[in-house]
């Protein structure tokens, strides 16, 4: 979900695609043969799009050539080994990764001296990722603690073409001309930064008996973290991970929210529809054991707007959205994944609010709350509502647009979700 929904609304596509998922397998669930790996950080990727004044600079359209890309991410669980996943899912040509390193962050783009380690793929430092696919590295012996950050540097000697990326990283990504994989200093990376993630789609952990699988949080910008403080790891999934660690619960958290994403409609700007990407972004995560679903508000708020560059958005019905949720539930259960439904938070006083849209939100939320079809329910609609106006966010929880959550709202959401994790 995004405050620019009125400009970026894709066409609603046929509901015949809301089919049950295929039977579970090691390949589709993301569990390796030993069941050892858990996704401890993840980003859901989408097509490259031009930068804008609203979302800031991104390098997705041009990609990289003779450049090093340095990205700092926080893992949600401990392990004695890590591995990285690299995506070319939306690339137009094979992605040649000349090499990569991991290390322990210093300040900004700096890496603590002596901690940089090479990453290999099938025991080779260079790998090629075909267009439309992803690859996973070999294990790296870099022990990490829960909530510790890791620096990943990717070097591309040749031109990559447009880059598979995630727009709203809410953090600083750095790039430098030339090969700086083993450069622990920040100087070469002192130029322009971006708040997006590029090609890096996951960091997995293994080797800790205290890490027993992953909770995957799925949805739109409520999950992606829009409205929370830049660079502070205050998205609700971040705070969920913190609560699980504080409670001594050995679970990783992977965030696969995409700002602007919809349940029923594709967008070249903001990702494949939820009913399509759920299998890849959720069920293929290493170690996935449960999923939290919070999606549908963009389908509602965007209904009736014309094409502003990413597709038009027809009006949707509550029945269609409920069918979409049912498709996610079927897919999760076919893969033996517990699925938790979250009601959509209040939206009154936001730019897109109308009484007709409110009625659709209310009907879908009523079904999530009362149908019993989800394994558990987090009633964010009621938890986050203003007591004096139940259709509006509590002022203490509201971002300035009255649609998204601020840090305090994300804290409340994380507490409510944590209470439903088993």
- Asked whether the predicted pLDDT for residue 271 surpasses 50, the reply is yes
CA distances from 72 to 84, 324, 348 (A): 12, 34, 36
Per-residue model confidence (pLDDT) at position 302:
85
Q: How confident is the model over 19-44, as a mean pLDDT?
A: 58
Q: pLDDT of 33-50, one tens digit each?
A: 445 999 999 999 999 998
78 contacts: CB under 8 Å, gap ≥ 6: 143, 144, 145, 146, 205, 208, 210, 211
* Backbone φ and ψ of 148, nearest 5°: -95, 145
**pLDDT, tens digit, for every residue of 134-187?**
999 999 999 999 999 999 999 999 999 999 999 999 999 999 999 999 999 999
- Percentage of the chain beyond pLDDT 70 is 90
pLDDT digits (tens, 9 = 90+) for 67-118: 999 999 999 999 999 999 999 999 999 999 999 999 999 999 999 999 999 9
Q: Say which CATH superfamily domain 1-36+209-422 falls into.
A: SGNH hydrolase (3.40.50.1110)
Would you give the DSSP letter of residue 283?
Answer: I
Taking residues 114-131, what's their average pLDDT? 98
CATH architecture designation of domain 43-206: Sandwich (2.60)
Tokens standing for residue 205: 């952990």
pLDDT value, residue 25: 32
With 0-12 CB in 10 A as exposed, 13-18 as middle and 19+ as buried, what is 147? Answer: middle
Determine the pLDDT at residue 310: 79
Burial 299-322 (b: 16+ CB within 10 A, else e): bbbbbebeebebbebbebebebbb
Tens-place pLDDT, residues 272-311: 999 999 999 999 999 999 999 999 999 999 876 767 777 6
What pTM, to 2 d.p., does this model score? 0.92
Q: Residue ranges of the domains in the chain?
A: 1-36+209-422, 43-206
- pLDDT at residue 413 is higher than 70: yes
Of 319, 316, 323, nearest to 297 by C-alpha is 316
Question: Would you say residue 131 has pLDDT above 60?
Answer: yes
Tell me the per-residue pLDDT of 207-263, one tens digit each, with 9 for 90 and over: 988 788 999 999 999 999 999 999 999 999 999 999 999 999 999 999 999 999 999
Q: Residue 14: its pLDDT value, please? A: 31
Residue 28 has pLDDT above 60, yes or no: no
Residue 418 near residue 240, CB atoms below 8 Å: yes
């Amino acid at each position: 979900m995004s405050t620019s929904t009125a400009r970026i609304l894709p066409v609603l596509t046929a509901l015949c695609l809301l089919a049950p998922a295929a039977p579970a397998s090691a390949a589709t669930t993301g569990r390796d043969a030993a069941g050892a790996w858990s996704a401890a950080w993840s980003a859901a990727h989408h097509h490259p799009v031009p930068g804008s004044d609203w979302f800031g600079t991104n390098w997705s359209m041009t990609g990289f050539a003779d450049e090093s890309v340095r990205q700092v991410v926080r893992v949600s669980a401990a392990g004695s080994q890590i591995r990285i996943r690299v995506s070319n899912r939306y690339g137009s040509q094979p992605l040649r990764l000349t090499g990569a390193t991991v290390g322990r962050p210093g300040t900004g783009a700096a890496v603590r001296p002596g901690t940089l380690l090479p990453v290999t793929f099938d025991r080779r430092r260079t790998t090629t990722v075909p267009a439309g696919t992803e690859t996973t590295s070999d294990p790296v012996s870099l022990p990490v603690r829960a909530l510790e950050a890791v620096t990943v540097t990717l070097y591309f000697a040749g031109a990559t073409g447009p880059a598979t990326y995630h727009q709203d990283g809410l953090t600083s990504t750095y790039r430098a001309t030339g090969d700086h994989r083993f450069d622990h200093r920040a100087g070469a990376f002192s130029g322009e930064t971006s708040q997006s993630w590029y090609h890096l789609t996951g960091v997995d952990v293994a080797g800790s008996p205290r890490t027993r699988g992953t909770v995957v949080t799925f949805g739109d910008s409520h999950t992606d973290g829009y409205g929370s403080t830049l660079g502070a790891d205050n998205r609700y999934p971040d705070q969920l991970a913190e609560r699980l660690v504080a409670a001594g619960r050995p679970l990783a958290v992977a965030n696969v929210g995409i700002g602007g994403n919809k349940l029923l409609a594709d967008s070249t700007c903001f990702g494949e529809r939820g009913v399509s990407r759920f299998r890849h972004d959720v069920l293929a995560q290493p170690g996935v054991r449960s999923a939290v679903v919070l999606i549908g508000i963009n389908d509602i708020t965007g209904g009736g707007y014309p094409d502003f560059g990413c597709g038009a958005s027809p009006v949707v019905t509550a029945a269609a959205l409920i069918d979409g949720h049912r498709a996610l539930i079927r897919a999760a259960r076919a893969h033996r994944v517990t699925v938790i439904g979250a009601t959509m938070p209040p939206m009154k006083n936001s730019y897109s609010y109308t009484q007709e849209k409110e009625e659709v939100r209310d009907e879908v939320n009523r079904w999530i709350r009362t149908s019993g079809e989800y394994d558990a329910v987090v009633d964010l609609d009621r938890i986050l509502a203003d007591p004096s106006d139940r259709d509006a966010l509590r002022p203490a929880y509201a971002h300035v647009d009255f649609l998204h959550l601020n840090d305090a709202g994300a804290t409340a959401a994380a507490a409510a979700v944590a209470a439903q994790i088993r």
